[in-house]
Each structure stands twice: as structure tokens, then as C-alpha cells.
Amino acid sequence: MSPADPVFRVLLVCTGNTCRSPMAAGALHRALGTDVDRIRVESAGTAAWEGQPATEPSLGVAAQAGVDLGGHRSRRVTPAMVRAADIVLVMERGHLAAVRALGADPDHTHVLSEWPAPGEPGLEISDPFGASNEAYEECWRRIQHHLERVLPVIRDASRARSA
């Protein structure tokens, strides 16, 4: 998180790093367009088993939107990851406490549905793991909805970093 580093880092965190955070990272990466060289998007999980692929329904829902998660492999969030991130976006409040316990800067760590304030805390991003395809589709819609709101803030922060 050094101002001398021109790359702005976004870390998306969920539980197992096989559904929500990979979908969010893939969607954000695609949405960045020409800013993709200036912003690094990563994902991790608070209880992830290392090296697991994205779930089949996550792969399918993302693919329908033109996002390829085929190369994704899960990883557990670490203190180094949260310290290196300029912003950490988590999927639910329990993740917020977990990443802050690892040393994430409280001023730069937020629940995706609640940031930027006032956000939409009533539109949570529920874990679709083991649920129906419809649950994955709804998860994807909510992720997309929240990313539309946060993308301009992330772009502005990354541009300010490289100015």
C-alpha cells in the first residue's frame, strides 16, 4: 500500500474463495476496461482450502456474462495480502472482522454491499455454495449491482495514486 507503487490493489474476500469472491474479482476485472493495467484485482477466502477451482455454477454464471473463471484457484487470505491491498472488499460482516484481525486497515476495509456509504446493506451477497443455479444467478446480479456503485470510487482512487 505504498504511494510510490503505481498499481492499485483490490482484494475481494469471501469464505471459501470458490464462489462469491472469484465471481466478484472476475466481474471487476472485466469492468475495469482500460484501467486494468493500473488496478490489480485478487480474491481470497477466510476459510479457503488452497488450490480449489471455482464451483461449477460459478463458472457457468460467470461464463454467461463473458467472464472466464477457469484458471481460478482458491487461496486463504493472509496478513500479507490484506496489508498489500489498497482496498479490501468483503462479502459479509463476518469477513470484515476476520480480515481486520489479520491487519487490514479499517479505513480501507468494507463490506461490498455497504460501501461507499450509505451503500445498500439490505442487499447482501449471500453465499450460494451448494444452492441452486438460481441462487448463483442472484449472487451474480447482486455482485454486478454493487460493483457498478464501487467501480467509479476504485477508478478515482487508482487515478489519484498514479497522478
| Residue whose grid cell is 495480502 | 81
Q: What is the DSSP string of the chain?
A: --TT---EEEEEEESSSSSHHHHHHHHHHHHTGGGGGTEEEEEEETTPPTTPPPPHHHHHHHHHTT---TT----B--HHHHHH-SEEEESSHHHHHHHHHTT--GGGEEEGGG-STT--TTS-----TTS-HHHHHHHHHHHHHHHHHHHHHHHHHHHHHH-
Q: What cell does 93 get?
A: 460482516
Active site residues per annotation: 14, 20, 127
Q: What cell does 55 get?
A: 464451483
